[in-house]
Structure 1
Amino acid sequence: MSAPIPNLMTVEQLAEHYGLAKKTIQNKLTRGWGPTPVTDPDTMQVLGFEVEEVTRFDRINKQTRKQRLYA
């Protein structure tokens, strides 16, 4: 495996960010909710979540549909 990618959030940090339990976040991620994870190309295991992607996900989900479409 290559060197770790800097600026990634773990599932634990993501749970803390949203104020939810780790298991709740894992369940939501399994259902497709949440920012896009960074995966290892060889093993396809989740390495973490880019901070920029989490910020983008937060921004999009705090807007109304009208704001998203016509902003």
Structure 2
Amino acid sequence: MARHEIIVKPGSSQEKIIPGADDTLTVYLRAKPHDGEANVTLIKLLAKYFSVPKTSIQIVRGAKSRHKTIEF
């Protein structure tokens, strides 16, 4: 299983993923952090980025934070 540290920027004007130098990813999302919308959008975007099924990605830490740890 792979783990990645993610920094989420919800409410952005565009959706994109920017890899960092220290194996972190900064993810810009259009979705607002309301009722888990941003987390759902984050998982969809990461599944596409890593070419894995959405069901294989889990937020291990930081479900209500902008700093998250994901595992797939």
TM-score above 0.5, yes or no = no
More helix by share: 1
Larger gyration radius, structure 1 or structure 2: 1
How high is the TM-score relative to the length of structure 2?
0.31
Q: Pick 1 or 2: higher relative contact order, CA cutoff 8 A, min separation 6.
A: 2
How high is the TM-score relative to the length of structure 1?
0.31
More strand by share: 2
